[in-house]
């Protein structure tokens, strides 16, 4: 954190937090209108299912990840946006959840930043492997499905149980021209 400039920190906040907020704000009118049209016929006073807001977070801020204060701060704020949507918009028929994947195997992030730690991450994960694009996609589909219609303000962590072990990645990561990170 000492060596991290405020400008990149602000950029991550703008992209993650303001991006999530602006997307939610733009969708709410449509989702609330949908809920008023989808009221159950036989239940007086009940709200209909308007739609779902599913924010994308990360599990890094649940365990604290070295050299990731910018991302951890932003994603904790995204979780708070989802919480506010649940409390404020739930009575209007809009549900809100969060999908929180770990770094995904064979993605740019894992190959660029965590490549040296990949073996350690996998070895400390109870499922014995890393998340895949397919696994995260399947979890996202669930959050948008009818099976999830009553779940509100839940965080679905997709990491094979790693965050329950409170495991930190270990190793040394060198990003040429930027910094050396010892985890």
If you ran DSSP here, which 8-state letter would residue 181 be given? E
- Nearest residue to 74 via CA among 56, 97, 95: 56
Tokens 């930027």: give the residue. Answer: 178
Q: What one-character-per-residue DSSP string does 132-175 give?
A: -HHHHHHHHHHHHSGGGTT--S-EEEESTTGGGGT----SEEEE
Helix 69-89 with 6-13: angle, nearest 10 deg:
30
Catalytic-labelled residue, pool 57, 96, 97, 131: 57
Instruction: Report the half-sphere exposure of 107 (CA within 13 A, side-chain side).
Output: 15
Catalytic-labelled residue, pool 75, 97, 100, 131: 75
124 is catalytic: no
71 is catalytic: no
List the catalytic residues: 57, 75
């Amino acid at each position: 954190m000492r060596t991290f400039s405020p400008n990149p920190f602000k950029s991550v906040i703008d992209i993650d937090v303001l991006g999530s907020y602006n997307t939610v704000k733009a969708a709410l009118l449509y989702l609330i209108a949908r809920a008023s049209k989808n009221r159950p016929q036989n239940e007086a006073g009940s709200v209909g299912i308007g739609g779902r807001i599913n924010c994308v977070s990360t599990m890094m801020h649940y365990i604290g990840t070295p050299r990731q204060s910018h991302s951890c701060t932003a994603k904790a704020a995204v979780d708070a946006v989802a919480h506010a949507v649940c409390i404020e918009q739930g009575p209007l028929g809009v549900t809100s959840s969060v999908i929180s994947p770990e770094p995904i195997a064979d993605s740019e992030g894992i190959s660029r930043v965590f490549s040296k730690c990949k073996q350690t991450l996998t070895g400390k994960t109870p499922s014995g492997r890393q998340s895949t694009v397919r696994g995260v996609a399947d979890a996202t589909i669930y959050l948008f499905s009818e099976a999830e219609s009553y779940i509100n303000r839940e965080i679905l962590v997709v990491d094979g149980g790693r965050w329950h072990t409170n495991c930190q990645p270990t190793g040394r990561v060198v990003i040429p021209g930027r910094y050396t990170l010892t985890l």
